[in-house]
Structure 1
């Protein structure tokens, strides 16, 4: 399948979760919480953005993941890895990413993964949890992978990618 044909058939799902250091309504998380709406607006306007998980509150901070009240989830769908990468490592999102250790616990296990979904499919939290468990158990595969070791839609061989220095992001 050509890259263009794969792009018409598949979209890229991403999930990342984080363990909060403080309650969402604490003064320590004010900068993070205040940035949610503006960063989500930038994401929605970004080239290649398709969809993002949100509750009635407009974000996903109140959606349960892994049955842990201290975990928050971000899940979205993008045209491809290039579109997702362009959003992650630019502008206000990059600035917030650089500050993540102020707000979130450092966790050794994988907290982010990517996978291809049929165009138009919107993944569920249960799907995301399954993909993340798979990545933790098996490493990057075509079923669940990272930007550092990604798999083109419909491929079984990885593509090793380079990410911007200093961010240490495992997405």
Structure 2
């Protein structure tokens, strides 16, 4: 945590096929393991979970049934980066084009939230829209173009 703030992130993907299809089988089969690794990762605080099970595949983004969303909160960018590029998640990242279409617009946004605050899907939609329309700013940024936490 940085000065009373935690790092929120949203990541969306446009599925190539329905979740129960053979195309998405490896993704769905590995989801519980990847989520468990996140839950156990140093610096992990929270992640969006639906009532369907281990992940958040029941949520839709911008009302689009082909977009799925991943949201989480971390103590800071270092912890988040370690998980994303770590051994449990990296293989998923490397195979993302098998399961998800390549989108030209930003699919990941980061922003700071007061410690203990949990963002909603609507919050994430707003942040990703801001990033797409205005580029990186303190309101929504990327790992490459990060902004520091607000002053306490």
* Structures share fold, TM-score greater than 0.5: yes
Number of the residue aligned with 1:116: 112
Number of the residue aligned with 2:46: 51
Aligned equivalents of 1:107 and 1:8: distance in 2? 34
Written as runs of structure 1 = structure 2, the 5 A alignment for 1:19-168 is 19-57=14-52, 58-154=54-150
Aligned equivalents of 2:3 and 2:51: distance in 1? 30
Aligned equivalents of 1:65 and 1:106: distance in 2? 16
| Runs of 4 or more consecutive aligned structure 1 residues displaced over 6 Å after TM superposition | none
Number of the residue aligned with 1:7: 2
How many residues align? The count is: 150
Could you list the per-position Cα deviations for residues 148-169 of structure 1 after superposition, in whole angstroms to 9, with x for gaps in the alignment? 00001017xxxxxxxxxxxxxx
RMSD: 1.0
Which residues of structure 1 form unaligned runs of 5+? 1-5, 156-171
Aligned equivalents of 1:8 and 1:132: distance in 2? 24
Aligned equivalents of 2:111 and 2:3: distance in 1? 15
Which residues of structure 2 form unaligned runs of 5+? none
Higher relative contact order (CA 8 A, sep 6+): 2
Number of the residue aligned with 1:3: none
